[in-house]
Amino acid sequence: MHSVIAPQGKLDLTAVPALYAQISAANDVDVEVDLTHVSQVGALCAQVLIAAGVHLRATNRRLSLSNVSDTLLRQFSVMGLTPERITEGCNDT
């Protein structure tokens, strides 16, 4: 069982509280963040996703990102990130 979160628009500073709340509300299940309708991901929301990856892994759950556009892949790349690094909490081990 998993919870699907589907944010929309720009994931910038103003989106941080809602994104954090939605991920935090997913009790005891894996979390999928569907990025279909997301046009931009800023560094602070990327950090929320990374922290979620760390937390979920520590509690034997998973974070996944789905429908990541080429635009978002480029934005992640500029930050030195990939969807895999984000979902793994930037764990290089």
d(CA 74, CA 15): 20
Q: How confident is the model at residue 92 (pLDDT cuts 50, 70, 90)?
A: low
| Domains parsed from the chain with CATH numbers | 2-87 (3.30.750.24)
- Identify the burial level of 51 via C-beta atoms within 10 angstroms of its C-beta, where 0-12 means exposed, 13-18 middle and 19 or more buried: middle
Query: What is the per-residue pLDDT across 49-80, written as a single tens digit (0 to 9) for each?
Result: 999 999 999 999 999 999 999 999 999 999 99
Phi, psi of 50 (to 5 degrees): -60, -45
Residue with the two structure tokens 């480029």? 74
Buried b / exposed e across 8-25, counting CB within 10 Å, b at 16+? Answer: eeebeeebeeebbebbee
93 pLDDT higher than 60? no
